[in-house]
Chains A and B, each alone.
Chain A
Amino acid sequence: MCLSIPAKIISIEGNKARVSLGGAEINAALHLIDDAQVGDYILLHSGFAIQKIDEKEAMETIRLLKEIGREGQEP
């Protein structure tokens, strides 16, 4: 499981947000997360935002992966 998609919050009204992925938009319920802001990226599952994506950690993972890439190229 499960189909959870990273999508960007583009507007918020109360407990409901409109989120976007590649220009497509859909509603997301915000009951399960705190302090959602427009511009945040969330994981969307069955119509709910289930977690905020930590952009710092995301960048760190990419950095680690690229480091493995560089090490792999060394003779």
Chain B
Amino acid sequence: MTGDNQILLDHGSGGRLSRELTVNLFFKHFGNNILSAATDSAVVPTPGEHLAFTTDSFVVDPLFFPGGDIGKLAVCGTVNDLAVSGATPLYLSAGFIIEEGFLLDDLKKIVRSMADTARSCGVKIVTGDTKVVNRGHCDKLFINTSGVGLLKSSHKNIGSGKGIKPGDKIIINGGIASHGMAVMIARNELNVGGNVISDCAPLSGLTGQILKATSGIKFMRDATRGGLATVLSELCENRKFGIEVAEEAIKIDDNVRGICEFFGFDPLYVANEGKVVMVVAPEKAGSVINIMKSHKYGHDVSVIGEVVEKHPGKTILKTKIGGSRMIDMLAGSQLPRIC
């Protein structure tokens, strides 16, 4: 079929096509066990501790949106990938690809934002690179950040969820879909408005506090591109357990819900930038919730479901009226629709 030899936008959407490209091209050729574990941070053995190492590139448009900017996103994204792997983030690199003609004032704002965010979560940006390309050869500004953090042996399975068992609780630190809709409003392409602020935030303080206070954290992942639904369906795919979540327990702000309704978007698949999904041993769930409730990035915590024995490999959402719905990965990004 035409287009099979071409990269589509959907290859970058975080859905099934993205995963296929990652596995069939990058994993295949770079091939090693650490990479193909496919955790948010690569966990590399070092004498004594483990080193968590991750990288991410940021191309968000527009560069500034309610609740953040590309710089804050670049720090939070990489810090969070380390944090949800159970690591303590320590050092970041920052690579900039800048389009000729980009305003220095805007760059200053973004760099200051990165510095503030890094300081707020105790990480240092210790190395970097800058390239400028001809006008038209990149869209204003692209940033890549890589990060390393230290990971205790006892936490090394958190990224892969090896120890998950039926009965474990599934917890998320707040309401979903704000980031994706905040960016949509900021793009102003569809003249949509609303009081939606991105949830972009560094979560290492929250995760660090929880890991210090309690054991029994079996799994963590941040629900970025592809949304909460993608995390849940990836989590149980090809595993011996299933997942059940309750529609009622998943919090969505009214403004966010309104925009999703206008365009026919499912909030479960919309990107977040400050949400961590945790799988927790049931006897520890109470203390996790208490810590979250008293933290600024966790006060809207919700227990959304649990790991179950039935329907292994599938995630089922129970609707308010008792019906059920399977949550699967999307092929690509959601598009505004009339049907």
Contact = CB atoms under 8 A, between A and B. Distances in A.
Interface in B171-216: 181, 190-196
Interface in B223-260: 254-259
B261 interface: yes
Interface stretch (A16-24, A34-42, A63-71): A16-24
Contacts of A20: 258
B194 A23 contact: yes
B338 A45 contact: yes
Interface in B99-140: none
Nearest to B261: A5
A51 to B, nearest CB: 16
With a 10 A CB-CB cut-off, give which of B254, B257, B258 has the most chain A CB atoms: B258
Contact of B339 (A3, A23, A24, A27): A3
A24 B338 contact: no
A53 interface: no
Interface residues of A, number: 17
B266 to A, nearest CB: 12
Contacts of A27: 191
Nearest to A3: B264
A54 interface: no
A8 B193 CA distance: 14
A22 B192 contact: no
B320 interface: no
Contacts of B259: 24, 26
B257 A25 contact: no
Interface of A: 1-3, 5, 7, 18, 20-27, 44-46
13 contacts: A3-B337, A20-B258, A21-B258, A22-B254, A23-B194, A23-B254, A24-B181, A24-B254, A24-B255, A24-B257, A24-B262, A26-B259, A44-B262
